[in-house]
Amino acid sequence: MPSEREKMVAGEPYDPGDPELVAARERANELTRKYNKTEPGETDTRRSLTEELFGTVGADCHVEPPFRCDYGDNIHVGDGFYANFDCVVLDVCRVTIGDDCLLGPGVHVYTATHPLDPDERRSGVEYGKPVTVGDNVWIGGQAVINPGVTIGDDAVIGSGAVVTDDVPAGVVVQGNPASVVREIED
């Protein structure tokens, strides 16, 4: 029988009240609290906390506090990652962000979702869908990336966009719901 955590990361319905998951969220809360209290010059402390919180961290990773997440260890970022102030990542499933990606202020990335059926939703069960962001992607301020979305390499997500579907490589999307407004030319 799989654990609630195994079901969660597999995108299957799970019980978020499971003691192991509660403890993992408390761990993430403690690490983000420490991170968010650091001073700008505490780069070694920030790097250490990021490495402890995230599943994997590439070189030259920088996250401006405040930052919030559910678990942290389902977040995997490549080299040259930058997240501006007030980013939130709900990482009940894997969030993979490639190399040289930029997140503007207030970007939210969601893998967590809930059943549409009200009776099932009332039961408290949740599930998730992974999010994948390719290399060299810029996500503008206050954009929202919804569960299950894949964003292709070299894409730009306009500020305030609500991304509900996959984004091809080399395009600019904007709006709610986000749609392609143009291709990026070399």
Q: Annotated catalytic sites, by residue? A: 114
SS3 (DSSP) at 155? coil
Contact 64, 84 (CB under 8 A): yes
Residue 111 neighbours by CB under 8 Å, 6+ apart: 74, 90, 91, 92, 93, 94, 95, 128, 129, 130, 131, 147, 148
SS3 (DSSP) at 11? coil
Q: Which of 138, 69, 59 is nearest to 110 (CA)?
A: 69
Cα separation, 182 vs 78, in Å, equals 26
